[in-house]
Chains A and B, each alone.
Chain A
Amino acid sequence: MIKVINVYKRFGDLEVLKDVTLNISKGQILSIIGPSGSGKSTLLRCMNLLEVPEQGQVWIGDQDITAKGAKIREIRQNVSMVFQHFHLFPNMTVLKNLMYAPKHVRHVTDAENRAYCMELLERVGLTEKANEYPSCLSGGQKQRVAIARSLAMKPEIILFDEPTSALDPEMVKEVLDVIQGLACTGITMVLVTHEMGFAREVSDRIVFLDNGVLIEDAPPQEFFTNPKTERARSFLQKML
């Protein structure tokens, strides 16, 4: 479903990703973990080309999105993203936030769009906020709306970029519960997270990124109980 092949990315003098190769199959739930500054978010953002790799290829399905002339806007319709800071559109109500992309990109009819978006709001437990503006919501509610918005395009892939890092501790759980609820829907999910317990529980595969290099790739049970590298071991000791 997602193929990252020998990707390099640098910001100025800083090499953020060094020869990263990663193959994610359809329906897989993969967590990318690692110390801050290790390139996790950058790797994730290469998967919908919010960052363009200097070298290497990124494939989504059977399309090379790094190729010249790739129809990136069409590909992105299938690859939604949930951001650390939500990035809801503040000039629209919650429901309009959800309906905007399906309406203007997929040209879904209004009635159908509204019905599906209300269904999504119900799924994240926020139907009563449909006509509120984002400024009236708590952080956890905003993130749940953002997740619902990413689902509105019926994507095959969702990328989560530290979805709980900007939240107050008591709001983390409500967001994680929503993400967990998606796990059984067959959507391919890639998560960058610092929630080790959650990563272990929800994902079926963990990769560990250190200093721009992928140094571990294992099922969660194996990774958390018996990491292969010293670097991962010391990282886990600090986190757990």
Chain B
Amino acid sequence: MELHFEKLAGYLSLYLTGIEVTLQFTIGSWILGFLLGFIIALIKVSKFRILKLVTQFYTSIFRGTPQLVQLFIIYYATPQLIGYEITAFQAAVLAFGLNSAAYISEILRGGIQAIDYGQTEAALSLGISYPRLMCGVILPQTLKNVLPGLVNESISLMKSSSLVAVIGVMDIMRAAQTIQNRLFIAFEPLLVAAAIYYVMVMAMTALSNRLERRIKVSDKGN
């Protein structure tokens, strides 16, 4: 067996483009997922019965169907349904953002409900309003507790972003495939792609560990 990593040298810029696209895409869908997931979680712990049912249905749809199917539906069906020519990148951010919102909302819901209800009663008995209770008491504790879960979700989001290669977005995975087709070698470009993902995930893990330590220092609660 001969390995020819040197052949990849000319395609470095393709990988770099891929990294940039993957990052843009991960950050974009993470922001969408977090904002939407946050709103959904607040509804899930609220008293609005009908809205709660809607969010439960939402979660069940996005958890109950494969991500690739969701991506295809959004990419191929949007032009047909509303006549808007959605770009591959937009479709991907939308599909993965919506999907990740379902998971993030569940992570946050669990975190909120894990806080002792006594604290809510204590706040109510002092005349503190519900938004104040949430922002000042419940959510700061929740975010600290769910940080590992959120990091997990971000990692899985970054990795599943490789699925966008199939609708033609030039991400890391697509770069590897392109090189594979030009050079007629498979192992080397794919291995490099895997290594890039691995390094990115490790960097993210290191970042979140630092964040977690900082939160622990600033808040010795619990």
Contact = CB atoms under 8 A, between A and B. Distances in A.
Contacts of B116: 87
Nearest to B131: A104
B127 A105 contact: yes
Given A100-B136, A135-B221, A50 B118 contact: no
Interface string B104-125: 0000000000001011011111
A91 B140 contact: yes
A104 B128 contact: yes
A108 to B, nearest CB: 13
B220 A153 contact: no
B125 A80 contact: yes
A11 to B, nearest CB: 16
Interface string A44-80: 0000101000000000000000000000011011011
Contact of A153 (B126, B141, B221): B126
Interface residues of A, number: 30
A85 B219 CA distance: 21
Nearest to A105: B127
A116 interface: no
A150 interface: yes
Contacts of B80: none
A87 B132 contact: no
Contact of B137 (A48, A76, A89): A89
A135 B127 contact: no
A108 B34 CA distance: 35
A81 B120 CA distance: 12
A50 B124 contact: yes
B222 A135 contact: yes
Q: How large is the interface on B (under 10, 10 to 19, 20 to 34, 35 or more residues)?
A: 20 to 34
B46 interface: no
Contacts of A81: 121-122, 125
Contacts of A79: 125
Interface string A147-177: 0011001000001000000000000000000
B220 A135 contact: yes
B141 A90 contact: yes
Interface string B202-222: 000000000000000001111
B116 to A, nearest CB: 7
A133 B127 contact: no
A87 B127 contact: no
A83 interface: yes
A88 B122 CA distance: 8
B65 interface: no
Contacts of A105: 126-129, 132
B121 A83 contact: yes
Nearest to B116: A87
B39 to A, nearest CB: 22
A75 to B, nearest CB: 8
Contacts of B128: 100-101, 104-105
B126 A149 contact: yes
24 contacts: A50-B124, A50-B125, A74-B127, A76-B127, A77-B126, A81-B121, A83-B121, A87-B116, A87-B119, A88-B122, A89-B119, A89-B136, A91-B141, A91-B144, A92-B137, A100-B126, A101-B126, A104-B132, A105-B129, A133-B220, A135-B221, A149-B126, A150-B125, A159-B125
For the complex of A and B, the 7 pairs showing the least CB-CB separation, nearest first, are A77-B127, A90-B221, A87-B122, A101-B126, A81-B125, A87-B118, A76-B127
Interface of A: 48, 50, 73-74, 76-77, 79-81, 83, 85, 87-92, 100-101, 104-105, 133-136, 146, 149-150, 153, 159
Given A73-B129, A89-B136, 6 more contacts: A50-B124, A81-B121, A89-B137, A92-B221, A101-B126, A133-B220
